């Protein structure tokens, strides 16, 4: 069963948003690298890879449903940040925007009685709970640590342990 043109367009837009997320996190990784935050560099590179995986999951799904993927330009991401706390604050805000976008897709699928799309999109709903929780947790740690050099060093070490898969 083919997806409606309206939902196809929205899924294509979500592919772009996921690719932008990957690009944004790669930019954050580059910033962290330039600031010698090796753990954060690794964490954001892993996040970029994960976001690209999300884009490809939607990409494949659109084709599985007999529709067409249409790629659009990816906006230039921000590349300068005030601090590691600032980067994670912006990460959390970005993930909230992605969550809102996913929820709109779920609503659209429900409005169209597209049960297959509804089931497919539930994975992303669950994933966004995890994405926001991860960013929120790191931000809370950074806010607690403040300017403690030892605390920042220890947290950067924790960030380096994130699985890249």
Q: 5-73+80-159 has which CATH code?
A: 1.20.1260.10
Residue 138 contacts residue 86 (beta carbons within 8 Å)? no
For residue 165, pLDDT over 80 is answered with no
Q: Percentage of residues in the chain with pLDDT exceeding 90?
A: 96
Per residue in 24-65, pLDDT tens?
Answer: 999 999 999 999 999 999 999 999 999 999 999 999 999 999
For residue 156, pLDDT over 70 is answered with yes
Output the pLDDT for position 164: 64
Domain boundaries defined on the chain: 5-73+80-159
Question: Which position has the token pair 């699985």?
Answer: 163
* Structure tokens, 150: 């030892």
Output the pLDDT for position 162: 85
For residues 155 and 13, give the distance between their C-alpha atoms in angstroms, rounded to a whole number.
35
For residues 80 and 34, give the distance between their C-alpha atoms in angstroms, rounded to a whole number.
10
Please give the C-alpha separations between residue 58 and each of 99, 101, 130, in angstroms, as whole numbers: 15, 13, 18
Task: List all residues 6 or more positions away from 47 whose beta carbon is below 8 Å from its beta carbon.
Answer: 25, 28, 29, 91
The pLDDT of 125-138, averaged and rounded, is 96
For residue 141, pLDDT over 80 is answered with yes
Per residue in 62-97, pLDDT tens?
Answer: 999 999 999 999 999 999 999 999 999 999 999 999
């Amino acid at each position: 069963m083919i997806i409606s043109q309206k939902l196809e367009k929205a899924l294509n837009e979500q592919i772009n948003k996921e690719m932008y997320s990957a690009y944004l996190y790669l930019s954050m990784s580059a910033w962290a690298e330039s600031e010698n935050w090796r753990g954060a560099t690794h964490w954001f590179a892993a996040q970029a890879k994960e976001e690209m995986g999300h884009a490809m999951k939607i990409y494949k799904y659109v084709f599985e449903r007999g529709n067409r993927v249409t790629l659009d330009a990816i906006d230039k991401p921000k590349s300068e940040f005030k601090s590691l706390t600032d980067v994670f604050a912006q990460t959390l805000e970005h993930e909230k925007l992605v969550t809102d976008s996913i929820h709109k897709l779920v609503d659209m699928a429900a409005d169209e009685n597209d049960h297959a799309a509804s089931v497919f999109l539930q994975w992303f709903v669950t994933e966004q709970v995890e994405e926001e929780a991860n960013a929120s947790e790191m931000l809370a740690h950074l806010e607690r640590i403040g300017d403690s050099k030892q605390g920042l060093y220890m947290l950067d070490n924790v960030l380096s342990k994130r699985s890249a898969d």
